[in-house]
């Protein structure tokens, strides 16, 4: 089981403990455990079909877990949904609202379903997502981006402490994605816990403080983005002459692993720029001066040394043993 | 804790905004004039034939039916049906009451008698079949069920809204057919006597309990029975809409059941256990007018009992499934 190793500070808003779910004869979720704290953006990363959406549906009581416990602000989501869900705003998959109602009527509809949401609050959320000029139009005339914003307005209505967004950037243009990212950061800065699922590594790395990586129904790692990434040794690119002797020296050391070009996850542009005498290794950064000295003593010419910091993608591929992410 | 009133308001609002109810009104407004016109043609033709004397007309009907009783080509079930019909007509004739006195009220009474087992259930399905499956088809069910409201409350609010609209539909059917047919036949006729209380015993009619009621009272009784049938059909369609994910499938299932009902009814079935099916019990108003039941052993209280059991079962199943089920897509 993956241990949560990050030292976040805020109080825990969402806690998922040992959740499993069996559908038919298959365990489609097999051991999911993590905490989400206030003021942080928590990323939930995994390939399509890994169990992200099923997990999210369990967080909001659409699906009941077969085992394990999910609590929001101390209330069990499945036992006391009336209490727990008042702290949660969510968009599960697409922002599906009633297209035959206006944006305003939709918000009114959802406002009636929770206590303490008055007209002033509806005005407020409409303002936050900047839909005020179109809010009285039928939703069927909205663009996807506007529907997304209406969905977020709906999620924010009840002043939640936890916001759950499932693939929020789906269908948004680059400008919209950037806006959304800033918006989510701002909400987190105001103390909201934001849970974001995505299959896009770069998006999670840009947006989130901490991540959980899920594959085949299991959480493989949980932690701060920086910590997780740092847990991986960087790639070191060498240009050495003669290559065969250098290979022998480097290959004999247990703390260095030589990589074949087709098993590394480096940008194609870097790989293309490498000369005939190039080598790729995975090793600790601190070892570089020592190895250079060893090579020089052995009369190997060191023409270039280049360190490339690990990415979340590298970690992901390592954890999922090469399962592709798309 | 969210109370139920705002939830019911939400559901009513959605039904209205989806324009389902307007479509139903529109269907009535288009179809009733057609039936009215057809009825007018029949009345005109009979008037020519019998010189406006309804007694002659009834007498002719009695003779026609009696003649056909001698024919071997007519099945036994039809014969007993006709014998009963003849006895009833004779009763009207003996008491000098025209059973077909043309008026808006009479038209309404007959129109609704004919609508109770298929036409009105169809109108009700237009609202009921979509209530839950519609939210699943569009995915809005996710928004609905992730609010801090217990699932049974969500379902209850939908059911409450449905029952309100069912009542409105029944009322609208009465009002629209009275108003439109009144244009052709006049708006009078509330106090015309109608006989009820025929007790069928094989192919003889026991007249001892027969009494005349003014037509307005008859309409009220009829309205109550139609409302009851409509509620049961609505609850059944509602259950199907909980069980089935797509609205189209939900409508097809209910339509098939209803049409199977009319077919079975017309078969005057020798298969007696069919009387426990809900769809052969929908013609409650037939017990008022004294038409023979489709299957031996059916009475008004039997049919109401069967319908009530079906209705209660569908409520139980709807709640049990809806509150437990995982929403997977």
**Domain residue extents for chain B:** 4-52+101-322
Interface test with B, best of A59, A63, A73, A109 (most B CBs within 10 A): A109
| Residue pLDDT, tens place only, B87-102 | 888 888 888 878 777 7
A62-to-A77, B144, B325, B327 alpha-carbon distances in Å: 10, 10, 8, 5
Q: What is the 3-state secondary structure (H, E, C) of chain A?
A: CCCECCCCCCCEEEEEEEEEEEECCEEEEEEEEEEEECCCEEEEECCCCCCHHHHHHHHCCCCCCCEEEEEECCEECCCCHHHHHHHEEEECCCCCCCCCCEHHHHHHHHHCCCCCCCHHHHHHHHHHCCCCCCCCCEHHHCCHHHHHHHHHHHHHCCCCCEEEEECCCCCCCHHHHHHHHHHHHHHHHCCCEEEEEECCHHHHHHHCCEEEEEECCEEEEEEEHHHHHHCCCCEEEEEEECHHHHHHHHHCCCCCEEECHHHCCCCHHHHHCCCCCEEEEECCHHHHHHHHHHHHHCCCEEEEEEEECCCHHHHHHHHCCCCCCC
Positive or negative torsion for Cα B143, A117, B1, B159:
negative
| Token pair for B20 | 């389902």
User: What is the share, in percent, of chain A residues with pLDDT greater than 90?
Assistant: 38
Average pLDDT over residues B52-69: 83
Is the pLDDT reported for residue B311 higher than 90? yes
pLDDT at A87 over 90: yes
Q: What is the pLDDT of residues A7-43, one digit of tens each?
A: 456 789 999 999 999 888 888 898 899 999 999 999 9
Contact (CB<8Å) A83/B148: yes
Cα angle B286, B287, B289; round to 5? 65
Using a CB–CB cutoff of 8 Å, tell me whether B321 touches chain A: no
Rounded to whole angstroms, the Cα distance separating A60 from A90 reads 8
A161/A149 Cα distance (integer angstroms): 18
* Domains of chain A: residue spans and CATH: 12-87+160-229 (3.40.50.300), 233-309 (3.30.70)
**Out of A32-41, B59-68, B314-323, which region has the weakest mean confidence (pLDDT)?**
B59-68
pLDDT(A80) > 50 = yes
The dihedral formed by the CA atoms of B176, B177, B182 and B184, expressed in degrees to the nearest 10? 120
Residue A12, min C-alpha distance to chain B (Å)? 20
User: pLDDT band at residue B1, thresholds of 50, 70 and 90?
Assistant: low
3-state secondary structure (DSSP) of residue B56: helix
ipTM (interface predicted TM): 0.83
Contact B326 A81 (CB under 8 A): no
Q: What is the pLDDT of residue A76?
A: 94
Residue of A nearest to B154 (CA): A113
CA-based nearest residue in chain B for residue A58:
B326
Residues on chain A touching B145 (C-beta within 8 angstroms): 61-62
**Could you tell me the pLDDT band of residue A4, with boundaries at 50, 70 and 90?**
very low
Q: Looking at CA atoms only, how far is residue B16 from chain A in angstroms?
A: 10
Residues 6+ apart with CB under 8 A from A211: A42, A43, A44, A45, A204, A221, A222, A223, A225, A228, A312
Among candidates B9, B146, B150 on the partner chain, residue whose Cβ is nearest the Cβ of A62: B146
Structure tokens belonging to residue B107: 């038209």
What residues in A contact B6, CB-CB < 8 Å? 112-113
Strand A88-91's sheet: what is its strand order?
A88-91, A162-166, A193-198, A41-45, A210-215, A218-224
The Cα of A259 is separated from the nearest Cα of chain B by a number of Å equal to 43
* Per-residue model confidence (pLDDT) at position B159: 96
Closest CA to A61 of A83, A38, A29, A28: A83
Task: Show which residues on chain A lie within 8 Å of chain B, measured between beta carbons.
Answer: 23, 57, 60-64, 81-86, 88, 90, 92-94, 96-101, 105, 109-110, 112-115, 154, 158
Among B148, B324, B328, B329, the residue to mutate for chain A (most A Cβ within 10 A): B148
- Please give the Cα distance from B104 to B106 (Å, whole number): 6
> Does position A323 have pLDDT exceeding 70, yes or no?
no
H/E element holding B204? strand B204-206
A101–B9 C-beta distance less than 8 A? no
Q: What element of type H or E holds B201?
A: strand B199-201
DSSP for B96-147, written as a single string: T--TT--SHHHHHHHHHHHHTTTHHHHHHHHHHTTTTHHHHHHSHHHHHHTS
pLDDT in tens, A152-200: 999 999 999 999 998 888 777 888 888 889 999 999 999 999 999 988 7
Answer for the pair A102, A113: CB distance below 8 angstroms, yes or no: no
Under 8 Å between Cβ of B146 and A97: no
Model confidence at A267: pLDDT above 70: no
Instruction: Spell out which residues of chain A touch residue B151, defining contact as CB-CB under 8 Å.
Output: 81
Distance between B31 CA and the closest CA of chain A, angstroms = 27
Q: What is the separation of C-alpha B134 from the centre of its chain, rounded to a whole number of angstroms?
A: 25
| Gyration radius (Cα) of chain B, Å | 22
Distance from CA of B157 to the nearest CA of A (A): 11
Which residue did the predictor score with more confidence, B297 or A74? A74
The C-alpha of B118 sits at a distance from chain A's nearest C-alpha, in angstroms, of 29
Q: B7 vs A57: CB contact, 8 Å cut-off?
A: no
Closest partner residue to A97 among B6, B140, B145, by Cβ? B140
Q: Do B327 and A63 touch (CB under 8 A)?
A: yes
Token reading at A60: 């909001």
Mean pLDDT value across residues B261-279: 81
**Cross-chain residue pair A63–B150, CB shorter than 8 Å:** no
Instruction: Report DSSP state, residue B293.
Output: P
Q: Give the pLDDT score at A188.
A: 92
pLDDT at A248: 85
**What distance in Å separates the CA atoms of residue A232 and residue A76, rounded to the nearest whole number?**
36
Residue B3 in contact with partner chain A when CB distance is under 8 A: no
Q: What is the DSSP letter of B94?
A: H
- What pLDDT, on the 0 to 100 scale, is given for residue A326? 44
Helix or strand run (H / E) with residue B205: strand B204-206
Asked if A84 and A71 touch (Cβ cutoff 8 Å), the reply is yes
Chain B residues with beta carbon closer than 8 angstroms to that of A154? 143
Q: Do B326 and A105 touch (CB under 8 A)?
A: no
User: Which residue among A84, A90, A114 sits closest to B2, beta carbon to beta carbon?
Assistant: A114
Q: At what angle do helices B104-115 and B119-128 cross, to 10 degrees?
A: 70
Alpha carbon distance A49, A216 (integer Å): 7
**Residue among A86, A98, A101 whose CB faces B148 most closely:** A86
Nearest to B140 among A61, A81, A96 (CB): A96
Q: In the numeric block, which tokens belong to residue A68? A: 């394990």
Mutation test of the interface with chain A: which of B14, B139, B141, B143, choosing the one with the most A Cβ atoms within 10 A?
B143
With bands split at pLDDT 50, 70 and 90, how would you rate the model's confidence at B2? low
Q: CA angle, corner A63, sides to A57 and A69, nearest 5?
A: 90
Summarize pLDDT for B175-223 with one digit per residue, the tens: 999 999 998 888 887 888 887 877 776 667 777 777 778 889 999 999 9
Q: Do the beta carbons of residue B225 and residue B288 sit within 8 Å?
A: yes
Chain B closest-CA separation from residue A252 CA (Å): 53
Residue B196 tokens read as 């009820």
Find the residue in A nearest to B5 (Cα): A112
Mean pLDDT of A134-141: 94
Residue whose structure tokens are 């905004």? B17
- Residues A48/A323, Cβ–Cβ less than 8 Å: no
Kindly determine whether residue B142 and residue A112, on different chains, have CB atoms separated by under 8 Å.
Answer: no
Measured between beta carbons, which residues in chain B are less than 8 angstroms from residue A98?
Answer: 14, 17, 138, 140
Question: Residue B193 pairs with which residues in a beta bridge?
Answer: B214
Residue of A82, A84, A92 lying closest to B149 (CB–CB): A82
The C-alpha atoms of residue A278 and residue A268 are separated, in whole angstroms, by 15
pLDDT for position A325:
46
Question: Which chain A residues are closer than 8 Å to B150 by Cβ?
Answer: 81-82
Flag if B13 and A61 touch (Cβ within 8 Å): no
Location of structure tokens 């024919």: B71
Looking at beta carbons, which residues of chain B come within 8 Å of A112? 2, 6-7, 9-10
Cβ pairs A/B, distance under 8 A: 86
Question: Out of A72-81, A210-219, A227-236, B220-229, which region has the weakest mean confidence (pLDDT)?
Answer: A227-236
d(C-alpha A61, C-alpha A79), whole Å: 9
Question: When comparing pLDDT for A253 and A164, which is higher?
Answer: A164
Structure tokens at B305: 């009992």
Sign of CA dihedral A57, A63, A67, A71: positive
Contact B326 A90 (CB under 8 A): no
- B146 and A158 in contact by Cβ < 8 A? no
């Amino acid at each position: 089981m993956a241990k949560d190793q990050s030292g976040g500070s805020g109080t825990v808003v969402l806690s998922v403990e040992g959740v499993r779910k069996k559908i038919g004869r298959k365990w489609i979720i097999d051991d999911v455990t993590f905490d989400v704290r206030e003021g942080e953006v928590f990323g939930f990363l995994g390939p399509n079909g890994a169990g992200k959406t099923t997990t999210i549906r369990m967080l909001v009581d659409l699906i009941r877990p077969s085992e394990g416990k999910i609590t929001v602000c101390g209330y069990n989501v499945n036992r006391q949904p009336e209490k727990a869900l008042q702290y949660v705003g969510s968009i599960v998959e697409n922002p599906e609202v009633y297209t035959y109602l206006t944006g305003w009527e939709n918000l009114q509809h959802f406002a009636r379903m929770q206590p303490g949401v008055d007209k002033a609050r509806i005005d407020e959320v409409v303002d936050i997502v900047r839909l005020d000029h179109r809010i009285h139009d039928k939703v069927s005339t909205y663009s996807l981006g506007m529907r997304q914003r209406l969905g977020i307005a709906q999620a924010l209505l009840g002043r939640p402490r936890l916001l759950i967004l499932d693939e929020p950037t789906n269908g948004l243009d680059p400008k919209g994605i950037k806006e959304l990212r800033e918006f989510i950061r701002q909400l987190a800065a105001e103390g909201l816990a934001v849970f974001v699922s995505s299959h896009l590594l770069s998006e999670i790395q840009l947006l989130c403080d901490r991540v959980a990586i899920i594959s085949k129904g299991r959480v493989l790692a949980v932690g701060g983005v920086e910590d997780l990434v740092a847990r991986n040794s960087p790639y070191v690119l060498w240009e050495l002459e003669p290559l065969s002797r250098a290979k022998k020296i480097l290959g004999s050391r247990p703390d260095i692993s030589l990589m074949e070009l087709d098993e590394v996850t480096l940008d194609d542009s870097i790989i293309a720029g490498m000369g005939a005498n190039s080598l790729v290794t995975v090793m600790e950064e601190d070892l570089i001066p020592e190895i250079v000295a060893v090579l020089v003593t052995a009369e190997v010419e060191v023409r270039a040394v280049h360190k490339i910091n690990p990415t979340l993608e590298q970690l992901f591929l390592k954890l999922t043993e090469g399962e592709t992410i798309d | 804790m969210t109370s139920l009133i705002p939830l019911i308001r939400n559901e009513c609002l959605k039904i209205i905004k989806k324009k389902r109810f307007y479509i139903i009104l529109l269907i009535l407004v288009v179809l009733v004039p057609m039936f009215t016109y057809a009825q007018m043609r029949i009345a005109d033709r009979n008037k020519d034939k019998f010189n406006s004397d309804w007694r002659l007309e009834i007498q002719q009907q009695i003779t026609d039916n009696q003649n056909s009783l001698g024919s071997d080509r007519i099945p036994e079930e039809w014969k007993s049906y006709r014998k009963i019909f003849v006895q009833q007509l004779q009763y009207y004739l003996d008491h000098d009451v025209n059973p077909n006195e043309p008026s808006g009220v009479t038209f309404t009474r007959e129109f609704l008698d004919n609508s109770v087992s298929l036409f009105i259930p169809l109108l009700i399905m237009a609202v009921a079949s979509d209530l839950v499956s519609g939210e699943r088809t569009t995915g809005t069910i996710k928004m609905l069920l992730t609010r801090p409201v217990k699932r049974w409350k969500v379902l209850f609010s939908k059911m409450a809204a449905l029952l309100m609209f069912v009542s409105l539909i029944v009322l609208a059917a009465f009002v629209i057919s009275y108003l439109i047919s009144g244009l052709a036949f006049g708006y009078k006729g509330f106090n015309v006597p109608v006989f009820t209380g025929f007790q069928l015993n094989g192919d003889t009619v026991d007249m001892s309990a027969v009494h005349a009621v003014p037509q307005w009272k008859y309409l009220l009784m009829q309205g109550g029975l139609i409302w009851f049938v409509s509620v049961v059909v609505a609850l059944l369609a509602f259950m199907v809409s909980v069980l089935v994910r797509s609205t189209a499938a939900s409508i097809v299932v209910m339509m098939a059941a209803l049409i199977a009902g009319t077919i079975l009814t017309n078969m005057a079935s020798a298969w007696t256990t069919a009387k426990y099916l809900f769809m052969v019990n929908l013609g409650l108003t037939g017990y008022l007018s004294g038409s023979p039941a489709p299957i031996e052993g059916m009475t008004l209280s039997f049919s109401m009992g069967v319908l009530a059991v079906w209705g209660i079962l569908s409520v139980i199943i709807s709640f049990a499934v809806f509150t437990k089920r995982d929403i997977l897509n």
